Structure formats: C-alpha cells, structure tokens
Amino acid sequence: MCTGKCSKAIAIPLYVLAGVSIICNIIAFFPGWSTEYAQEDRDGKGDRITDEVKYMGGFIGGGLMVMPIPAIHIHLTSSNGCCANRCGMFLSIGFAAAGVVGALYSLATAALVLANGPVCLFKVTGDKDASWGRPFMNNSGSYLGDSELWKTCLKPDDVVEFNIGLFATLLVAASVELVLCAIQMVNGLFGCICGTCGGKEEA
C-alpha cells in the first residue's frame, strides 16, 4: 500500500475514535445518567464527580489532541492537495507524535479511573451514616471482577457499571489511537523518503 493511501486508512478511524473519546468524557460528568451530581459538585456540596473525569483525558487527550490537527493533516496527505508531498508527510510525523501524546494521556486517565473506581455514596460496615468517597480506591482494580462489591455504591444508580463501561471504551479507543498514530509516524517517515505515490507530487 502506498503511503498516501495508508494515511487515509489511518485518518478515518482516528476521526471516529476521537469522537468516541470526547462523547465518553462528556457523558462521564453525568453519573447515573443524571445531572444532579454534576450540579452538586459544582455548587460545592462535596466531590460527586470522579476526580479523573475532570482531568478531561478523553476530551483533551483522546479527542482534541487527535482530531483537529493530527487526523485532518494525516487525511490531507492522502489527497492530491498541498499536503500530499514529502514535506506534508514529514509534518504528519510531528502531528502523529502529538496524537501519541494525547492517546497516552487518555489511556493513563482511563486506566487510573478503572483502578481507583468511581466516587459514590457508600456505607462502611459499622458506620451509622453513608458518606461520599471512593470505596475501591485501595483495591488496585480488584473490584472489577467482583460484581457483588459493586453494590457497595448506593448512589448514583449503577455508577460502577457506568464508569466501567465508559472508561473501558476510552481505554480501548486510546489504545487504538496510540497504535494508529505510531503507525503514521513510520508511514510518514517512509512517505518523506519515498513520496506519497500521488500522480503529481511536489517536493
């Protein structure tokens, strides 16, 4: 496959994955599919939103650092326009590197959320009242395979399943973005040396 066509094959999935990352991060601000907890968190009534959600790993890392410039430029190197040349392929290496950094940030944030678990209202055995916190924080992700432990969280409704679903999706999306951007760095290097296989290529 010529380097130009390879760029197109890489860019199109990046658009989709970046969109998925942004959507997942936005939805994560509304645990239990409710706006109530985001409002309480904003009003200073205590932490109701998981800290790592506020790091915006999916929105900034997997989304904005992948879609606006890297994915679009990589896509342009597959066309017959001004970027479909050795210089364009060289620049795509740098943009793909930015995508790698963004994907790593998203990946690290998602992995941290899955390891530490969500913020929720829970009650410790022996305590009279329930309190907000992270009951799985010191379990190193062991709660993931034990659905009985998920019942520890009383509110938001089904917050553990909610978090696992969203951040597992983010983890997969970021992993694929990382691989695609790394491939484009290699592809860009070959394109810079050998050209894009386009009919009319400028130096």
Whether residue 153 is contained in a domain is answered as yes
Cβ-contact 133, 155 below 8 angstroms:
no
Q: What is the pTM of this model?
A: 0.85
Around Cβ 127, how many Cβ atoms within 10 Å?
A: 9
Identify whether the C-beta of residue 195 lies closer than 8 Å to the C-beta of residue 3: yes
25: phi then psi, degrees, rounded to nearest 5: -65, -40
- Is residue 160 included in any domain, yes or no? yes
Question: Residue 22 — very low, low, confident or very high, per pLDDT cuts 50/70/90?
Answer: very high
- At 118, give phi and psi (nearest 5°): -85, 165
Distance CA 158, CA 151 (A): 8
The answer to the question of residue 200 being in a domain is no
- Report if residue 20 sits inside a domain: yes
**Amino acid, single-letter form, for residue 120:** C
Number of domains in the chain: 1
Judge whether residue 201 has pLDDT over 70: no
Establish if 202 belongs to a structural domain: no
Domain range holding 94?
A: 3-194
Q: What percent of the chain is predicted at pLDDT more than 70?
A: 89
In a domain, 203, yes or no: no
Q: Per residue in 24-71, pLDDT tens?
A: 999 999 998 999 999 988 888 888 999 999 999 999 999 999 987 778
27 lies in some domain: yes
The verdict on residue 201 lying in a domain is: no
Find out whether the peptide bond into 156 is cis, omega within 30 degrees of 0: yes
DSSP letter at 67 equals: I
